[in-house]
Each structure stands twice: as C-alpha cells, then as structure tokens.
Structure 1
Amino acid sequence: MNELDVRRVVKAYGPGAPVLDGLDLSVPGGALAAVLGPSGCGKTTLLRVIAGFLKADSGSVSVAGRLLGGPGVHLPPERRRIGIVPQEGALFPHLTVARNIAFGLRDLGRADRRARVGEMLDLVGLPGHGERMPHELSGGQQQRVALARALAPRPHLVLLDEPFSALDSGLRGAVRAEVRAVLRESGATGLLVTHDQQEALSTADLVAVLRAGRVVQCGTPEALYHRPADPWLASFVGDAVLVPGTAEKGTATTALGRVPLASAPDGLRDGLVLLRPEQLRLAEPDAAGAGASGVVTDVRFFGHDAMVTVAVDGLDRPVDVRTPGPPGQVPGRRVGIRLTGEATLHPHTA
C-alpha cells in the first residue's frame, strides 16, 4: 500500500526553535489526510520535506515502505514518485491541456503518452479538453488539470498545497468533492495542506493538527471535533463552549446544567467542560429541563443556521448557541438553555 510514514522529523532554518520539532505522522495507503494548523506551525515546511525540496535535519520520510529521506538518504523530488498540486494549479500557460498533463510522462512512447493523457482527462471529467489552452478554462477546470498532471505518472502520494484557496466559495466545495473522488478512484494517498478548518473536516479521511512543529492530534474529523486532545485544539477546529465543571460518576455539573461525559482524564474531578454550540438548545427561561438562563446579547444569521450569544447567569463569559434556520431571537431577550449530547473534560491548565 502507498502509506506515508514521517518519523521524528526535525527541520530548522537557523538558530532558535526548529520549525518541525520531532514531528510524527502516519497516513494509511489510499487515504486523504489534511494537515491543519495556525500560521507558522510548519505545514508548508512539512510538505516541502516530504516532497524532497528541503532536507530534514533529522528523522525519516517513507512512502509505500520506501525510504525517501533519512540518515544518509535524500532522494531528489523527481525520484520520489510524489505528485504535487500547487495553489492556483500553476499550469504552463504556453502548453495545451494535453501537453501539461503529459509533462511528467517523458519516459513513455508517444502512443502510450497519448493514451495516458486521455485516461487522465476522463478521470477528472474533462474529455475533449486536451487541445485547449489553460486560459480557456475556468478556475475549477484548471485545478482538475493540475490534479490530472500530478496523477499521470502514477505517484504513490499526491501533495495538495491549499489548491482551492484561489476559487470562489461557491466553486470551492464542488471542486473539493471532485478532487476527493478522483483521488479515491486513482488509489493514490493524498496529503492536503490547508488553513481552512471546515475544508479539512469535510474533505479528509484523517486530520492532523500541527502546533509548534508537532502533531497535536491526528484522527478522523469526528474524533477531532468531538474528542479533541485539549481546549486549544477544540477551539481551533470549531466553535467551542468551555465552562468550568465538576465530574462525578461520568457526569459533569456546570453553570449550564448537568451533562454526561464521553471522556475525562483519570482522576480529574474539576476542569473545563467542552461542549459545541449545537449541543445547546434555547428554551423559555422557566422551561422544564433548562439548566441555566441568561440574556441574548448578539445574533448572527448565516442562512442555514444562526449563532445566538447569551450572557448566562453565573458565568464570566457569554456562550454561543447554534440554532437551525432563522434564530427567532433578539438581543435583550431572556432565554433558558438546555444541554444535549455528551461532553469532554479537560484540565484547567491544558
């Protein structure tokens, strides 16, 4: 299988803290993993080390069981069997679509090269576009051609460097879905570097979150969202409601009410209880089951849902409540809050 294995990789550009500081990352063959993190966490450096554009100071990189970089080994990019889809496609403007795709197929004969280009055009849903020039394509079509060019040499791994950032929001979701489907059909392992949390959660099979040059947590989007390793990560991968709470017999008591715990560190009794805004429900202040009440301070409508901010009695910070559709609330109105689902408990110092 085309698994990616990064072990204890360190990379520094000069004196001071390294950009990658003993980073570990494993991606199963055929999976699409997203690398997510704040600016300066090492996302681009990791991509360049895996591609072979940078040599790691220590550690190793292997793909499909083949050592690409490590002690005494540093294969150049062209020998790594890694395809790259850069930002904005970066197609050669003076070459046709077909010649762009065929660029990395120089070892094939003319007939085989033409056949492979045809396969790639069919795969990315652009049959009959081979003689067009890049400027004749839409942004989404250019990204699909860039993906076809990366897949044409049958790489073990495809690196996608924020490939959707230049697309408008309406097109971005459709192209993401197309790219994901093409990668799955090709069987290649994919690594997507992005700064967009929603893109990572909605597109990838696995999400690895970097902080200070290391992977804080790597798991399925569901695990990262519902069982994050710490409060920082919880806030980074989505909207988080963090309130002090006390745990006893698998249940946390908070100013918002009582809620079952999905997980808590052994022996931890007092800490921060993590909830998501969609786990909070608005109700009348005196409604049965309302564990808290407060005053609406802000309402933000997004079309498919709305975020209602409530200053809750007994809490120092307001909380956000996500409601489906029109919120039906106005600032100044007093409301009750019910809790649903399960929460996680984290140390105050995390």
Structure 2
Amino acid sequence: MTDLQITAVRKAYGAGTTVLDGLHLTVPGGSLAAVLGPSGCGKTTLLRIVAGFLRADAGSVTLGGRTLTAPGVHLPPERRRIGIVPQEGALFPHLSVARNVAFGLTGLDRAARRRRADEMLDLVGLSGYGNRMPHELSGGQQQRVALARALAPEPQLVLLDEPFNALDSALRAGVRADVRAALQATGATAVLVTHDQQEALSTADLVAVVRNGRVAQCAAPQDVYHRPADPWVAAFVGDAVIVSGTAAKDEATTPLGRVALAAPPSGLREGLVLLRPEQLRLTDAAADARGTVTDVRFYGHDAMVTVAVDGMDAPVDVRVPGPAPVRPGGRTGVRVTGEGTLHPVPHVRH
C-alpha cells in the first residue's frame, strides 16, 4: 500500500519563525486527505516538504514504506514518484494538450506516450482534446489536463495545491467531483491542500485541520464537523454555535435548554457545548428559549437567522430551509435538536 506517513516534521524560516512544529499526519493508501487551515498555518510548506522542494529541519516523511525525508536523508523530487497539480494548471503553453500530459513519461516510444496521454484524457473527461492547445481550454479543462499529466506516470502520491482557487463557484463543484472520480479510478493516494472548508468536507476521505504548524484534528469529514476536537476547530470548519453548559450524565443544561451530549468527556462538569446552526429550530412554544431576531441572511437553498437569546451575551445563528419565516425585530423561540459536544473553556493567554 502507498500509505503516506509524516512524523514530527519541523520547519522554520529564520530566527523565531516556526511554520511546522512537530506535525504528524498519516494518509492511508488510496485515500484523499485534505489539509485544511488558515493562511500561514503551514499547509503549503508541508506540501513542498513532501514533494521534496524544501528540506525539513527535523522529522521524517515515508511513502509506501520508502523514506523520502529523514535526518540525513533527502530524496530528490524526481525520484519520489509524486505527481503535482499546482494552482491554475501551469500547463506548457507551447505544447498541445496530449504533449502536456505525456511530458513526464520516460522510457516509452512516441506511440506509447500518445496512448497513455489519450487514456488519461479519457479518464478526466477530455477524450478527443489531445490536439488542442492550452489557451483553447477553459480553466476547468486546464485543471483536468494538469491532473491527467500528474497521473500519467502512475505516481504513488498526488499533491493538489489549492487547484480550484482560480475557478468560479459554479464550475468548482463539478471539477472537484471529476478530480475525485479520477483519483478513485486510479487508486492513487492524494493530498489536497486548501483553505476552503466546503471543499475539504465534500471532497476528502480524511480532513486534517492544521493550526499553528500542528494537526489540531484529523478524522473523517463528518467526524470533524459533528465531533470537533475543540471550539477553534468547530468555528473554523463550518458555522458553530457555542454556549456554556453544565453536564450531568449524558446531557448538559444550557441557556438554550437541555442538550444531549455525544461522548461527554470524563470528569468534565462545566464547559462549552458545541452545536451547528442546523441543529437549532425556530419555534412558537413558550417553553423554549426566547429571543429577538436581529438579522436574516437568505442564501437560496437556506437562510441564516441570527437571534439574540434572552439571558445570553452573544447571539446564536439558526439555519432554516428556504425563506426564513421571521423578520428582524420579531420574537421567536429556539429549540436544540440532536447532540452536542462538551469541551473545556479554552485558556486565554495574556
């Protein structure tokens, strides 16, 4: 199997600027992992170390049991069997699409190279495009060609460096789906570097959330979303509702009422309860928490309603399907459904 194992990798630029601080990450063979995090957290540095473009200060990287990076070991990029899909495709403008795809193929005659290029273009949905030039393609088509070029030499690992950034939102979802399907068809292990939460959750088998040069949480997308490791992860990956709570057995008492807890931490009695806006419902029941609507944002498929709940310092967001049934200034009830997670209150550093 082509498991990717990153162990205690460190990298600093200059004095006091540590970008990766003992980062650990394991990507099972054949999986697509998304490395997600804010700007400056070390995502691109990690990718460049795995690719071999940067040397790590400490730690190791192995791929399929083969050491790529370790103390005293630095395998050159061309010997790592890693394909790279950069931002905006980076195709050679003077080469045809087929010649772009075949560029990294060695040891094959011209006919075999063309057959392999045609196979890869068919895989990414661009059969018959081999004779076109890059400038004749749309942005999405160029990204598919870049993926075909990365997959053509049968790499053990494919690195995707925010490859959808230059695409408009309407095109992005379709290209993401095509890229995922092509990776699954070849069985390649892949790492997608992104700062887009929706992209990570909808595309990857595994999501690694990076904070300050370390992995804050690494799990399946649904676990990162519904079982965040801490309030920061919850707020970074999607919209979060965070309220104080006092736990007793398998539920917590909060300003929004009683909330069932998913695997409450042992011994923790008071802390923060993490919920998602879609777990809240607007109601007319007098027994529910009450508040005043302060804002309504309509997104087409749903709407986000902000409610200043009586007795709470901060407002909460409620996601409702379709048009919101309330308007700013109106009174409403709020009820929690589903389970929340209980976490300690983060320490504030002065």
TM over 0.5: yes
Residue 54 (str. 1) matches residue 47 (str. 2): no
| One-letter amino acid of the structure 2 residue matched with residue 123 of structure 1 | L
RMSD across aligned positions (CA)? 0.9
In the other structure, the counterpart of 2:233 is 233
| One-letter amino acid of the structure 1 residue matched with residue 279 of structure 2 | Q
Q: Runs of 4 or more off by more than 4 Å in structure 1?
A: none
| One-letter amino acid of the structure 2 residue matched with residue 23 of structure 1 | L
In the other structure, the counterpart of 2:3 is 3
In the other structure, the counterpart of 1:126 is 126
In the other structure, the counterpart of 2:152 is 152
Contact 1:291 1:339 in 2 (8 A): no
In the other structure, the counterpart of 1:173 is 173
| One-letter amino acid of the structure 2 residue matched with residue 263 of structure 1 | A
Identify unmatched segments of 5+ residues in structure 1: none
In the other structure, the counterpart of 2:111 is 111
What CA distance in whole angstroms lies between the structure 2 residues aligned with 1:331 and 1:118? 57
What CA distance in whole angstroms lies between the structure 1 residues aligned with 2:249 and 2:37? 35
Q: After TM superposition, give the deviation of residue 107 of structure 1 in Å.
A: 2.2
Q: After TM superposition, give the deviation of residue 112 of structure 1 in Å.
A: 1.7
What CA distance in whole angstroms lies between the structure 2 residues aligned with 1:349 and 1:61? 32
Secondary structure at 1:19 match in 2: strand
Contact 1:23 1:214 in 2 (8 A): yes
What CA distance in whole angstroms lies between the structure 2 residues aligned with 1:60 and 1:255? 47
In the other structure, the counterpart of 1:253 is 253
Q: After TM superposition, give the deviation of residue 121 of structure 1 in Å.
A: 1.1
- Cα deviation 1:196-254 (Å, max 9, x = unaligned): 01110011000000011100100001100011110011000011111111000111000
What CA distance in whole angstroms lies between the structure 1 residues aligned with 2:4 and 2:244? 40
What CA distance in whole angstroms lies between the structure 1 residues aligned with 2:339 and 2:303? 22
Contact 1:258 1:291 in 2 (8 A): no
Which of 287, 294, 297 is matched with 2:294 structurally?
297
Q: How does 1:16-165 map to 2 (within 5 A)?
A: 16-165=16-165
What CA distance in whole angstroms lies between the structure 2 residues aligned with 1:195 and 1:60? 24
TM-score of the aligned structures, taking structure 2 as reference length: 0.98
Secondary structure at 2:173 match in 1: helix
Which of 309, 314, 318 is matched with 1:317 structurally?
314
What CA distance in whole angstroms lies between the structure 2 residues aligned with 1:120 and 1:348? 51
What CA distance in whole angstroms lies between the structure 1 residues aligned with 2:288 and 2:241? 15
What CA distance in whole angstroms lies between the structure 1 residues aligned with 2:222 and 2:102? 39
Contact 1:263 1:343 in 2 (8 A): no
What CA distance in whole angstroms lies between the structure 2 residues aligned with 1:248 and 1:235? 25
What CA distance in whole angstroms lies between the structure 2 residues aligned with 1:15 and 1:285? 59
What CA distance in whole angstroms lies between the structure 2 residues aligned with 1:112 and 1:75? 28
What CA distance in whole angstroms lies between the structure 1 residues aligned with 2:74 and 2:144? 30
- Cα deviation 1:251-306 (Å, max 9, x = unaligned): 100010101100222111010011110000001152xxx53010000000000000
TM-score of the aligned structures, taking structure 1 as reference length: 0.98
Comparing 1-10 with 103-112, which one deviates more in the overlay? 103-112
Contact 1:285 1:334 in 2 (8 A): no
| One-letter amino acid of the structure 2 residue matched with residue 331 of structure 1 | P
| One-letter amino acid of the structure 2 residue matched with residue 18 of structure 1 | T
What CA distance in whole angstroms lies between the structure 2 residues aligned with 1:83 and 1:26? 18
- Cα deviation 1:108-148 (Å, max 9, x = unaligned): 22222121111111111111111100000111110000000
In the other structure, the counterpart of 1:308 is 305
What CA distance in whole angstroms lies between the structure 2 residues aligned with 1:58 and 1:111? 44
In the other structure, the counterpart of 2:216 is 216
What CA distance in whole angstroms lies between the structure 1 residues aligned with 2:23 and 2:54? 15
Secondary structure at 2:207 match in 1: strand
What CA distance in whole angstroms lies between the structure 2 residues aligned with 1:166 and 1:114? 29
Size of the aligned set, in residue pairs, is 347
What CA distance in whole angstroms lies between the structure 2 residues aligned with 1:114 and 1:105? 10
Contact 1:60 1:69 in 2 (8 A): yes
What CA distance in whole angstroms lies between the structure 1 residues aligned with 2:161 and 2:44? 8
Secondary structure at 1:182 match in 2: helix
Which of 342, 347, 350 is matched with 1:345 structurally?
342
What CA distance in whole angstroms lies between the structure 1 residues aligned with 2:247 and 2:301? 35
